[in-house]
Amino acid sequence: MAPGQVATVRSHVLAKSLRRLPGGRTLMQAAVGDATGVLECVWFNQPYLDKFLRVGEDLIIHGRVEASGRRLQVIHPEIEHLDSTTDDEQESADLGLNMGRLVPIYPLTEGLNQRWFRRIVKTALADETLAAHDALPERLRHAHHLPSFAWAVGQLHFPDTWDDLEAARRRLIFEELFLMQVVLASRRARFASRLKPQRYQSSGPLVEALRNRLPFDLTFSQQQVLRELVGDLCQPHPMLRLLQGDVGCGKTVVAALLTAVVAQGGYQSALMAPTELLAEQHARVLRGYFEPIGIAVRLISQGLTTKQRDTVMQEIASGKAQVVVGTHALIQGGVRFANLALVIIDEQHKFGVVQRKALVTKARLPDVLVMTATPIPRTLALSLYGDLAVSTITQLPPGRLPVRTVWYREAQRLQAYEDIRQQLRQGRQAYVVYPLIEASTRQDLKAATQMARTLQAQGFPAHRVALLHGNMRSKEKDAAMRAFVEGRVHLLVSTVIVEVGLDVPNATLMLIEHPERFGLAQLHQLRGRIGRGGFASTCLLISDTADELAAKRLQAFVETTDGFQLAERDLQLRGPGELLGRRQHGWMRFRLADLSRDAGLLELARQEATA
């Protein structure tokens, strides 16, 4: 045995003692052992054990082994007598539950013990109504060799063998995943049974005009996904689809072409983004695409004056504004559409369910496209978005070079700063990203506000440094962002706000401070801000983290630029709640299923639910 190990041992009681402590407390100690050594058992405030334990008898002891000087010790171990000769019927029954078999160890509160709780559970399992409850049809159980619900629950608590325990777990995990997939399949069927009022033509003058104005050719993957989306859009039932792809794969232009189909039919589209920064970026890009061909794009933002806002509201209500972009401001009561038909929600996992639903209810059975640049593992997509059809852009545009990632330790900080200077001397631009806006006395972390001043004064006095974070006023954020986009700012010091929304082809280097504070998906989003202009680009990390899990994440980030591989790794290391955020994770708290472990059962459950 070793300290920290949870062990179950058979041993002989060698000695015992009961001591009275100040304050009315008691300390019960027993030395137990066998030919291999001696173990000290300790119980506080359990004086009755003095009569329960007898020197010379054999016991089964279960607990966590700790070091106490040179001795090994177990605090408050579970104990079972090995003398099974008793005339007491209840004691005999307890021996059958607690000895000579696999026994469950339950998390208990003070005042309860394992023997009593096992007896209560065993009694509950004898209830005949358990046998009557079985959510899985007999045909399904037979086809996949799944036992009954009653047997599985019984074996989960009191398994006859390890194989029986695994069979019980497999059955109950499958049921959990199957029922979830049935709910999602029901949603899909209900959505598909409705007939939408809007109808479109897949081609026409506006669509062709936009295609002809594009300064690049779509990749094969973009063309394939566009065909899927347009085909779905032209069906009589509403579209409900997820468009995902890695950072920089070209989702926006595909969404723009889809929007052109809608505008060509005389309908409106609305695009909701999670931040003002991203909404403004989308509005600029869409105006560049649409205004030369006569499609009006309007932005609802905090930067509008009251007069400007009133004008935009009137244009939306009249239908003059054919494409409307905004944040959650789109769902406010004052926003009324004339004939909204297409709802696009970007980075949709950053919105709550209520916010997404509020936008959808602005129209009668609209077509819905949700987009994300956060790659989603297949198992998570089947769970979180199982009621959506999924389209994935798998190619990056030609000419995009992979970003090199380097992990520096704190002692190498000056080298990291020199790497930045080299890029700035060549006329390139760079980001430095911090996890905090302001320094905190509770956390020993560098922060953006203080470091922006330090970097300007000491690190990069010959270059212009600007600050960008979420607490700045809209006009200040816009000015900092515009100065960086136009090249008047060389080094942008920021928080994670830049993970989406900034597209600066001249930016070739990003330094991320305290990267262990971010998940892999977020780090990947940040890295996606560079390498967008055909220049060789580098992402630097500075971290001395001693946390083993954080170090594994950072090493994975250094080793691959594939967002989907990183998302799978993040799911394995941190689970779905950390990957997508607590808003999405709430309804996915499975009792037994593990999405990273049970991918095969999830796929099987989906097949059966949709059969």
Flag the least confident range among 6-15, 228-237, 377-386, 580-589.
Answer: 580-589
186 and 249 share one domain: no
The pLDDT-based confidence of 385 (bands split at 50, 70, 90) is low
Contact 253, 400 (CB under 8 A): no
Q: Is 578 a member of any domain? A: no
* Residue type at position 386: G
Same domain, 435 and 485: yes
Domain boundary among 67, 101, 125: 125
Residue at a domain's end among 125, 149, 176: 125
According to the model, what pLDDT value does residue 335 have?
87
Residue 293 covered by a domain: yes
Let me know if residue 305 belongs to a domain.
yes
Whole-structure pTM value: 0.71
For 202-248, what is the HEC assignment?
CCCHHHHHHHHHCCCCCCHHHHHHHHHHHHHHCCCCCCEEEEEECCC
603 domain residue, yes or no? no
Q: Which range marks the domain in which residue 275 is found?
A: 205-374
Confidence class of residue 49 from pLDDT cuts 50, 70 and 90?
confident
Sign of CA dihedral 137, 139, 140, 146: positive
| Tens digit of each residue's pLDDT (9 = 90 or more) over 552-566 | 989 999 998 888 788
For residues 428 and 532, membership in a common domain is answered with yes
Are 507 and 483 part of one and the same domain?
yes
Instruction: Collect all residues with Cβ–Cβ distance below 8 Å to 608 and sequence separation of at least 6.
Output: 140, 178, 181
Mean pLDDT of 350-357: 59
Q: What are the Cα distances from residue 5, in Å, to 67, 109, 281, 584?
A: 10, 22, 54, 36
Q: Is residue 148 part of a domain?
A: yes
Sheet holding 538-542, edge to edge: 404-408, 538-542, 507-513, 429-433, 491-494, 465-468
Report how many domains make up the chain: 4
Mean pLDDT computed over every residue of the chain: 86
Mean pLDDT of 281-297: 92
Residues 257-282 pLDDT 10s: 999 999 999 999 999 888 787 888 88
Answer whether residue 95 shows pLDDT above 60.
Answer: no
| Mean predicted confidence (pLDDT) in 453-463 | 93
Range of 360-369, 460-469, 584-593 with top mean pLDDT: 460-469
Residues 181, 187, 189, 192: what is their CA dihedral angle, to the nearest 10 degrees? -140
In a domain, 350, yes or no: yes
Does 222 lie in the same domain as 337?
Answer: yes
One domain, residues 28 and 112: yes
| Among 257, 267, 171, 273, residue whose Cα is nearest residue 214 | 257
Residue % of the chain over a pLDDT of 90: 44
Which residues are CB-contacts of 611 (< 8 A; sequence separation ≥ 6)? none
Can you give the CATH number for the domain in which 248 is found? 3.40.50.300
* Cα–Cα dist 355/348, whole Å: 10
H or E stretch covering 46: none
117 and 139 belong to one structural domain: no
Predicted pLDDT of residue 318: 94
The pLDDT, as a whole number, for residue 87 is 47
Which tokens belong to 406? Answer: 């380097």
Distance CA(89)–CA(509), nearest Å, equals 75
Q: What is the pLDDT of residue 352?
A: 53
Q: Are residues 498 and 466 in the same domain?
A: yes
Both 168 and 232 in a single domain? no
Give exposure, 149-187, as e/b (b: 16+ Cβ within 10 Å): bbbbbbbbbbbeeeebbebbbbbbbbbbbbebbbebbee
User: Which of 560, 576, 592 is the last residue before a domain boundary?
Assistant: 560
Q: Are 227 and 280 contained in the same domain?
A: yes
503 assigned to some structural domain:
yes
* Mean pLDDT, residues 595-606: 84
- Is residue 253 situated within a structural domain? yes
> Where do the DSSP E strands lie in 543-584?
none
User: What pLDDT was estimated at residue 587?
Assistant: 45
Both 339 and 214 in one domain: the answer is yes
Strand-pair category, 6-20 with 58-68: antiparallel
Same-domain check for residues 370 and 480:
no
State the CATH number of the domain containing residue 112.
2.40.50.140
